[in-house]
Structure 1
Amino acid sequence: MGEWAAGLDAADVPRPVLDRLSLVLLDVFGVTALGAALDEQAALRTAWNAPDGPAPLIGAGRTVTVDAAAWLNAMALVSLELDEGNKYAKGHPAAHGFPAVLALAAELDATGPDTAAALLAAYEVASRFGRATSLRPGAHPHGSWGVAGAAAGCARLLGLGPEATAAAIDSGAGLPIAGHFSSATDGNPVRDAWMGASNMSGLVAVRMAAAGLARNTGTAGGSLGDLLGGFDAAELTDGLGDRWDITRGYFKRHASCSFTHPAADAVLPLRAGLDPSRISRILVETHALGAGLGSPEWDNRLSAMFSTPFAVATALLDGEVGPRASDAARRGDPALRDLARRVRLVAADDLTARLPAERAARVTIELDDGTQHTRQQPIPVGDADPDQLTEPDVIRMLKAWLPGRAALVDRAAAVARDLPALRRAGGALRGLADDTAEKEPS
């Protein structure tokens, strides 16, 4: 794996893979800017008081030190549950390492091809560590297996050789977070910080390797295997260089945990002409992985985004689960809470049996006269098979979610598209720090 990552050349990567990288990168840029606009993220930046530096805080109007940018951009990226994910990796490979690679690339003013290769190394290594790791029940995937990907990407950017890259990957695998899934459902934003820690730990691992301090002792078997669950090392190199996992990820159109998406998608076609006051109950059947998100109560943004009753009720009332749906004013709406309390979530064996190819939900809405409306959603919209969202779809969503920031979205799309051919990437990346909102035409 170290040899593959160290030798990865963007010129040898198939065009469809580079196109998919551009789309994932656009999503990362746009969703990070969206998260950066939240009041709580602005408050965190103020409390952090990071010194000026070469790396952009995307959409936040500042450039700061590499470490601060890697951590703060990662937290902003995952703060609205809109970041790209991969069901085969069982988590979010890009968010684990892209912020670190991009911050380091800005500092180094790295070439576009080197930055593109580093991003691909980060994604592919993280995804394979995700495939290899079977976390214990109750463990959350943020900040554990993905650290190795952050280390791999940063090692490629520094031009480390195969042995040093392998040592960086091994060190990253020895720096996992042991996070509990209940932190997400309870609404503890430490869950977002786990992604900051992943990117920061990737930088630590590669610096150790560059200094000659890192060793390759197979530490993943102990940290990710013995302590956190199980680890199948054969998965690390399975299809490496032939199968590109980045082409098999999913994008999100709902600002909520991906396990809530099939249910939200299922109710949208049912809402036309439906009077919510006549709904007596809503039964949501889902797979075993999503069955723990049944609480109809929430007290902050994160706990709302990890509630299927919240997502279903919001989709029925608003026609979407947008990024502002979890704002305090909206999530506190009595009508929304009342409808959510009529949602019951259960696990269905037949839906669990269809994992991972399908992450399905079946929704039955019962009205006060006993009439029932049922719809099944086999995969969420935006999933890898076959309903992928295209670049125009992603741009359209980002512009709708970032009113007055169309120029930033267009700039992000251009950087993402042009990156593999840029002579130097630093200036283009720093241009994404711009937080200027365009004036509406008079």
Structure 2
Amino acid sequence: MTIAEEFSSWAKSLSTKDISDKSRQTLEFLFKDICGVIVSARNENYVQSLVKTYKGTGSLISLGHGKNFDMSSAAIITGTAAHGEDFDDTFEGNPMHVGASMIPAMLSAAQKFNLSGDQILKGMIVGSELICRLALVAPTAMHKQCFHPTAVCGTFGVAAGLSSVLNMSEKQMSSALGVAGSFTSGIIEYLAEGSWTKRVHPGWSANSGMNAALIAKSDFYGPRTVFEGEHGFFKAFALREIERDYSHLTDKLGSRWETENLAFKPYACGTMAQPFVDCAVKLKEKVKDPKKIKSILAKVGEGTVHRLWEPSKEKKNPSTPYSAKFSVPYCVAVGFLRGDAGLSEFNEQSIKDKEILELAGKVQYEIDPNDEYPKNYTGTLICETDDGVFKEHQPCFRGGRKQPVTKEDIEKKYQANLKFSKIGDKEIKNLNSFVDTIFEKPDFTKIIIQ
């Protein structure tokens, strides 16, 4: 039995009653978090560009934009909005964003196929488990091969999740995964100048995964050895020098839930920048005058340098607000000066702020051979000032398994995102009701937002 067949067999037989309580709670948190993020980005230019492209293609609802879209375009738009500000969930073990592909796909497919709340829950847990497990097979290898893990793995998650609720046979499900291997894509050249392509990756993954499932449902035949084969996914999309451990994909399915290791971001920036922002916020309490700062040294994991520290010129003076999200020097500077790195810290005005750029220019890095990345996400800043040297350390990702979020944390972030979106009170009330009952009795009339 191949990996795709073994996973499909488990997914097909899974009952939602077998899902761990913590996994279900995590998915409830995830759904609320992602819906808030989607709505918060509804008026951003990159989202409006896609609305303009696809409006009028159908009669399904794309959260935040009314009832004018087909299944694919609704998912592309909401997936882009979900990931566009990098404020969505991540995964501890190798950075991966599950919600930005899975939730847009299930929102679209649920309308198209009249899925129940129980089916939405099943589709989400199946897709989430596969995406998280794919992240563990060869940590850092996809990034180092110049691919975006969220993009290339999200397609498989969506294909598996949707296949598991469309009454497909195990053969059809494994074919869907095989087809997904040819449909998936997403390079990381956006890093060069902060362009928008990373933003659209999860939406495109949702679209590609749904199409992979649908053609497999009509008996289109895909390769069963898509993951482990000689010409399979990991040979194509992951640096060959990094060892693979395929056992992660099927080991203890149904008893070890990787979904429980999803983490929720407190800041609207790259995953590995987050612990350093925490350090910067704490330094702010010790160093009252930023003009006295001579330098700030960050101790980093080698695997993060090519995305968050280089090229140095771009990272210390980001050319776009989006580029700033993947610049630790910039994120440290706004964390210190503003005490936050939220949605308002990544706009045209902020990236031109002379005080922020001056401080970002003083932030350097040093590779720490003992850094735990990607097994643990930590941050250390050593700040040299006229008054002495100050050090701060963040031992884990705040919002992850070692320092988990509470229900109150998720609610606070969700409400703040709705406020940022400027939607009306009635629309907020309807969306709250929709989110709170999604796994019981989904009512899509409540998410029509014009």
TM-score, normalization by structure 2: 0.89
For the 8 Å contact 1:282–1:366, the answer to whether it is kept is yes
Could you list the runs of 5+ residues in structure 1 that have no partner in the other structure? Answer: 436-442
* Counterpart Cα distance in 2 of 1:73 and 1:420: 19
Residue 122 of structure 1 is matched in structure 2 by 127
Q: Say whether residues 1:218 and 2:218 are aligned partners.
A: no
What is the CA distance between 1:355 and its match in structure 2? 3.1
Q: Cα gap change, 1:376/1:89 in structure 2, threshold over 3 Å: closer, same or farther?
A: closer
* Counterpart Cα distance in 2 of 1:328 and 1:257: 18
Q: Cα gap change, 1:430/1:312 in structure 2, threshold over 3 Å: closer, same or farther?
A: farther
Residue 439 of structure 1 is matched in structure 2 by none
Which of the residues 20, 37, 42 maps onto 2:43?
A: 37
What is the CA distance between 1:125 and its match in structure 2? 1.5
After superposition, residues 162-241 of structure 1 pair within 5 angstroms as: 162-180=170-188, 182-184=189-191, 186-221=193-228, 222-229=231-238, 230=240, 231-241=244-254
Q: After superposition, what is the alpha-carbon deviation per residue over 1:31-83, rounded to whole angstroms, capped at 9, x for unaligned?
A: 111122323312331233342422x2222344421100111111111110011
For the 8 Å contact 1:63–1:433, the answer to whether it is kept is no
The one-letter code of the counterpart of 1:418 is T
Q: Say whether residues 1:274 and 2:280 are aligned partners.
A: no
* Counterpart Cα distance in 1 of 2:143 and 2:19: 35
Residue 155 of structure 1 is matched in structure 2 by 163
Residue 335 of structure 2 is matched in structure 1 by 315
Residue 447 of structure 2 is matched in structure 1 by 432
* Counterpart Cα distance in 2 of 1:309 and 1:185: 16
Give the number of equivalent residue pairs.
425
After superposition, residues 96-115 of structure 1 pair within 5 angstroms as: 96-115=101-120
The one-letter code of the counterpart of 2:410 is V
Q: Say whether residues 1:421 and 2:428 are aligned partners.
A: no
Q: After superposition, what is the alpha-carbon deviation per residue over 1:404-430, rounded to whole angstroms, capped at 9, x for unaligned?
A: 5476566545434423322xx3xx234
The one-letter code of the counterpart of 1:347 is I
2:150 partner SS: coil
Q: After superposition, what is the alpha-carbon deviation per residue over 1:131-174, rounded to whole angstroms, capped at 9, x for unaligned?
A: 22432624321311221111011112312122211211222133
Could you list the runs of 5+ residues in structure 2 that have no partner in the other structure? Answer: 1-6, 310-314
Q: Cα gap change, 1:239/1:416 in structure 2, threshold over 3 Å: closer, same or farther?
A: farther
* Counterpart Cα distance in 1 of 2:388 and 2:210: 57
* Counterpart Cα distance in 2 of 1:142 and 1:15: 25
The one-letter code of the counterpart of 1:364 is I
* Counterpart Cα distance in 1 of 2:408 and 2:364: 36
1:291 partner SS: helix
1:271 partner SS: helix
1:420 partner SS: coil
What is the CA distance between 1:18 and its match in structure 2? 1.5
Residue 336 of structure 1 is matched in structure 2 by 356
1:328 partner SS: coil
Q: Cα gap change, 1:95/1:239 in structure 2, threshold over 3 Å: closer, same or farther?
A: farther
1:241 partner SS: coil
* Counterpart Cα distance in 2 of 1:80 and 1:50: 26
| Percent identity of paired positions between Structure 1 and Structure 2 | 20
* Counterpart Cα distance in 1 of 2:262 and 2:192: 24
Q: Say whether residues 1:9 and 2:15 are aligned partners.
A: yes
Q: Say whether residues 1:372 and 2:381 are aligned partners.
A: no
Residue 263 of structure 1 is matched in structure 2 by 276
* Counterpart Cα distance in 2 of 1:196 and 1:280: 43
